[in-house]
Structure 1
Amino acid sequence: MKCCINCFEDVELKNIIEHLKEKGDCDFCHSHNVYVYDIEKDNKIGELLTEILYIYTLEDTLPREFPTNKLEKLEDILMNEWHIFNLDKTSMIKLVKELCKKSYTRIDDVFEQKVGFKELHLKHLKHIGLYLENNAILKTNTWEDFVESIKTKNRFHTDFFNENELEKILSYTVKTLKKGEVFYRARISKDKKGYNITEMGAPPANLASAGRANAEGISCLYLASDEKTTFYEIRAIAYDYVCVGRFELNKDIEIIDLSSLDKISPFISELECMEYAINVDILNKIAYDISRPMRRHDSKLDYLPTQYISDFIKKKKYAGIMYKSTLSETGYNLAIFDESIFTCIDTKVYEVESLSYDYK
């Protein structure tokens, strides 16, 4: 049987398939004339996926002390946490069984029983606790533990993080922006005159309010990938005048792309599958928190966890962060720590004529 490049989201697996330069039809997603992978001829992908399967322990072999409420179906874990496949659940199970049947002896059982992740839920065991201390971003803590602590207990001197591990994981999301690239920033104006280019930059420190990437009193330049996204981000309403500045990058810079944090491949050579597995839930939650929409009455304290991550990135000399816009389907945002690396080169003023609301 043959699977294909379209069956996967994971970049490393797609590269393996493309490198083989074999084209044909896929037996799983039914794509035609695409790069394919003959499961009977090559077992490299099967061996990589088997490493993931062995992370989880079958219910019938787990110790009695394992909490039953932490048992899950493997297909749900693979679909919701690992971001490997581009298939529906039924096709994904069929593909994994075909790929791993030679290297995983209980391939049918692993999808019939529930499984448990001992390294996350038996932290009290000495050898597991020691592994987490050395290899987990938050050591033996959860993201929820950290959020609660930074909001209510210790804001400035936390020992929750394994900083070496956090820096290592973040290094896989480094993105280079080139000199001359253009981004946008918007401000609501009181009239059609708008603002001149000198008024479109980041607010001065004494006027800087708390944001996703900056604490109150610390200036940060927030930009968007396109004009339309800026309208969403400033919550423009009907009949507002919106002044949009076009900002050009003055030099090549490196940023951390937090929008790709939950898409890191577990098959990177420098990263062990177990190391990825103990961190994947935290990576998903950081990626979600940095981009989640803030409501009008939300507390500024809700920004604290992502401000901590942003400050850590700033300390490591990156120029800023990139994150998804949850208000715009196609746009993304930048938070730049030093606004001088961008120049506002012109402005336009728009009048918002109408709005369209989606609700449930």
Structure 2
Amino acid sequence: MKFCSECFNDTEIKGVIDKIDNEDVCDITGKHSKHIYDTAKHIVLREYFDELLNIYTPISEIVQNIDKEKTVKIKYDLLNNDWDIFSSTCKHSDVYKIIKNICSERYEETPELFNEDVIIRELYDEKYKSEHSLLQNYTWEEFTNSIKCCNRFHSHHLKLDILRKACLASTKKYSKGEIFYRGRISSAEGLPVEEMSAPPIEKTIDGRVNSAGIRCLYLANNINTTINEVRAGIFDYITIGTFELLEDIIVVDFRKINKISPFIFALNGLDLIEYALNKPYLNKINDEMGKSVRKSDSKLDYIPTQYICDFIKSISLDIENLPSKFMGIEYNSTLCNDGYNLAIFEPKLFECKETKIYQVQSLKYNTNEIQ
């Protein structure tokens, strides 16, 4: 079988295929490409998928009673539910054919793995879940209540080593010279570049990433996102500063922490089953990082994400010619669909180069009737 990188979403798989020098036509898309993976010639993806298939068990091999609704078929799980490996243009039948041809020997040995409903056995093992779950036996609500109301600095609800692994698999590099933006409501005269960075310690209030008194520079990826994040009123003036990165940095990309390629874990000897178990919790962290804040919300609501970000600051990195620690986090903007934010732990890493003044001319509200 022959297929191209357009059949996949997974960046690791796309990268492998795009390095193959083999000109042909893709059996799935019908497109001509210079980089075609041919299962009759190439075997590199076999190791990738064998590693992933190893975590699944056919339902016929399970003795205990399993809720049928919690089982899946390989072609559905790999396409839709958990791993986001294949392109949305691929049909379930396409996924089945691709996996079957990549892992042809595995299919001959255990066809039930491809054709029956399957489960990840360990997800039904209470002892395994207790030892390998990010939240152990707690719920997210129990963790947040404990850290807000009982023990703020020494929580035992999170397994921090698991969070560390997920963060290390979600790194993103930014190079010196990259541009981001920050906005502040101002007068018509605007604000000078000297007043556009993070406020001084005595004026630093609680934020999604930082506690009061701990400086953090909140930036956005473009001007439109910046304007939305400022939440200005009609006819308000906004000063927007253009910030330039002064040196290479590494951040945790929370936008992809719940979309980590399973092949990164497999190739680095990390625990795929552990990741599958914790994916819902990583989804929750991702949601909380980008959660829209209302004026009525309590400052206590920031504490869980502040705790997580303080832990991220403590993680050591070993990447040549780069800082030995994370310098910030990246997360989705809830106020601008195509935008994202960058929270920088050390504001001096960015310099405001210029400012421009904008005035809000109109506002548009979208509402849902809730009662």
Other-structure match for 1:290: 289
1:177-217 Cα offsets, whole Å, 9 max, x none, are 2333221110122x311222222222333433322211234
| Cα pair 2:120 2:273 within 8 Å, conserved | no
More displaced 10-residue stretch of structure 1: 88-97 or 257-266: 88-97
Other-structure match for 2:57: 57
Other-structure match for 2:193: 197
Answering whether residue 304 of structure 2 is matched by residue 305 of structure 1, we say yes
Instruction: Say which of 328, 350, 359 aligns to 1:351.
Output: 359
Instruction: Say which of 183, 191, 198 aligns to 1:186.
Output: 183
How far the C-alpha of 1:76 sits from its partner, in A, is 4.5
Other-structure match for 2:275: 276
| Cα pair 1:47 1:103 within 8 Å, conserved | no
Cα distance 1:62–1:218, how it changes in 2: closer, same or farther (>3 A)?
A: same
Q: Percent identity?
A: 41
More displaced 10-residue stretch of structure 1: 177-186 or 267-276: 267-276
Q: Pairwise CA RMSD of aligned residues? A: 2.9
Q: Map 1:329-340 to 2 at 5 A.
A: 329-340=337-348
Given residue 221 of structure 2, which amino acid in structure 1 is its aligned partner?
A: S
Other-structure match for 2:86: 85
Other-structure match for 2:162: 165
Q: Where do 4+ consecutive residues of structure 1 move more than 6 Å?
A: none
How far the C-alpha of 1:38 sits from its partner, in A, is 0.8
Instruction: Say which of 224, 245, 256 aligns to 1:249.
Output: 245
3-state SS, counterpart of residue 102 of structure 1: helix
State TM-score, norm by structure 1.
0.85
| Cα pair 1:178 1:253 within 8 Å, conserved | yes
3-state SS, counterpart of residue 219 of structure 2: strand
Given residue 341 of structure 1, which amino acid in structure 2 is its aligned partner?
A: L
| Cα pair 2:204 2:214 within 8 Å, conserved | yes
Other-structure match for 1:321: 329
Other-structure match for 2:171: 174
How far the C-alpha of 1:9 sits from its partner, in A, is 1.8
Given residue 312 of structure 1, which amino acid in structure 2 is its aligned partner?
A: F
Given residue 230 of structure 1, which amino acid in structure 2 is its aligned partner?
A: T
Other-structure match for 2:349: 341
How many angstroms apart in 2 are the aligned matches of 1:75 and 1:139? 30
How far the C-alpha of 1:143 sits from its partner, in A, is 4.5
How far the C-alpha of 1:309 sits from its partner, in A, is 1.7
| Cα pair 1:101 1:107 within 8 Å, conserved | no
Consecutive unaligned residues of structure 1, counting only runs of 5 or more, are: none
| Cα pair 2:107 2:114 within 8 Å, conserved | no
Q: How many residues align?
A: 353
Cα distance 1:349–1:47, how it changes in 2: closer, same or farther (>3 A)?
A: same
Instruction: Say which of 105, 114, 121 aligns to 1:118.
Output: 121
How many angstroms apart in 2 are the aligned matches of 1:283 and 1:183? 26
Given residue 236 of structure 1, which amino acid in structure 2 is its aligned partner?
A: A
1:14-49 Cα offsets, whole Å, 9 max, x none, are 222122211322112333325211123333324422
3-state SS, counterpart of residue 236 of structure 1: coil
